[in-house]
Structure 1
Amino acid sequence: MTFSVVARDPATGDLGIAVSSCILAVGRVVPSVRPGVGVVAVQARSRRGLGHTLLGGLAAGADPADLVRKAAHSAEDADRQIAVLDTAGRVAADTGRGSFPVSGHLVGEGTSVQGNMLASPEVLPAMAQALAAARGDLPDRLLAALTAGQDAGGDVRGRQSAALLVVSGAPATDEDDGVRTDLRVDDSGDPVAQLRVLRNLQRAYDERDYETLALFAPDGARDLYAALAASQRGDRDAARAALAGLRARPGWSAWLAAMAGDPRLSAVSRLLG
Structure 2
Amino acid sequence: MTFSIAARCPRTGQFGVAVTSSSPAVAARCAHVRPGVGAVCSQNVTDPRLGTRLLDLLESGMPAKAAVREVAAQPHAEWRQLTAVGASGPGAVFSGVRTLGTYAEAVGPDAVAAGNLLSGPGVPEAVLDAFTGADPQAPLARRLVDALTAGAAAGGEAGPVHSAGLLVVDVQRWPVTDLRVDWTEGDPIAELAELWKLWEPQQEAYVQRALAPDAAPNYGVPGDE
Q: Which amino acid aligns with 1:182?
A: D
Task: Select 1:183's aligned residue among 166, 179, 182.
Answer: 179
Instruction: Give percent identity, aligned residues only.
Output: 37
Q: Which residue of 1 aligns with 2:215?
A: none
- Partners of 2:204 and 2:26 in 1: CA distance: 28
1:199 aligns with 2:201: no
Contact 1:8-1:89 at 8 Å conserved across structures: no
Residue by residue over 1:31-82, the C-alpha shift from the partner in whole angstroms, topping out at 9 and shown as x without a partner, is: 1111122111001114231111111112222221111112333341111100
Contact 1:47-1:77 at 8 Å conserved across structures: no
Number of residue pairs matched by the alignment: 209
Q: Which residue of 2 aligns with 1:69?
A: 69
Across the aligned residues of Structure 1 and Structure 2, the Cα RMSD in angstroms comes to 1.9
Greater Rg by CA = 1
Counterparts in 2 of 1:249-264, with a 5 A limit? 252=222, 255-256=223-224, 259=225
Structure 1 residue 178, shift from structure 2 partner: 4.8
Q: Which residue of 2 aligns with 1:123?
A: 123
The secondary structure found in structure 2 opposite 1:29 is: helix
The secondary structure found in structure 1 opposite 2:47 is: coil
Query: What is the TM-score of this pair, normalised by structure 1?
Result: 0.71
Counterparts in 2 of 1:55-204, with a 5 A limit? 55-135=55-135, 136-168=138-170, 170=171, 172=172, 177-188=173-184, 189-204=186-201
Contact 2:40-2:84 at 8 Å conserved across structures: yes
The secondary structure found in structure 1 opposite 2:142 is: helix
- Post-superposition, which runs of at least 4 consecutive aligned residues in structure 1 deviate over 3 A? none
Contact 2:3-2:21 at 8 Å conserved across structures: yes
The secondary structure found in structure 2 opposite 1:56 is: helix
Q: Which amino acid aligns with 2:157?
A: D
Q: Which residue of 2 aligns with 1:211?
A: none
Query: What is the TM-score of this pair, normalised by structure 2?
Result: 0.86
- Partners of 2:129 and 2:85 in 1: CA distance: 19
Distance 1:191 1:66, change over 3 A: same
- Partners of 2:80 and 2:123 in 1: CA distance: 19
Query: Which structure has greater helix proportion?
Result: 1
Q: Which amino acid aligns with 1:198?
A: L
Which runs of 5 or more residues in structure 1 are unaligned?
209-223, 226-245, 247-251, 260-273
- Partners of 1:178 and 1:148 in 2: CA distance: 28
Structure 1 residue 207, shift from structure 2 partner: 7.7
Residue by residue over 1:143-165, the C-alpha shift from the partner in whole angstroms, topping out at 9 and shown as x without a partner, is: 11100111122121211100011
Which runs of 5 or more residues in structure 2 are unaligned?
206-218
- Partners of 1:149 and 1:53 in 2: CA distance: 27
The secondary structure found in structure 2 opposite 1:78 is: helix
The secondary structure found in structure 2 opposite 1:49 is: helix
Structure 1 residue 86, shift from structure 2 partner: 1.3
Contact 2:105-2:125 at 8 Å conserved across structures: no
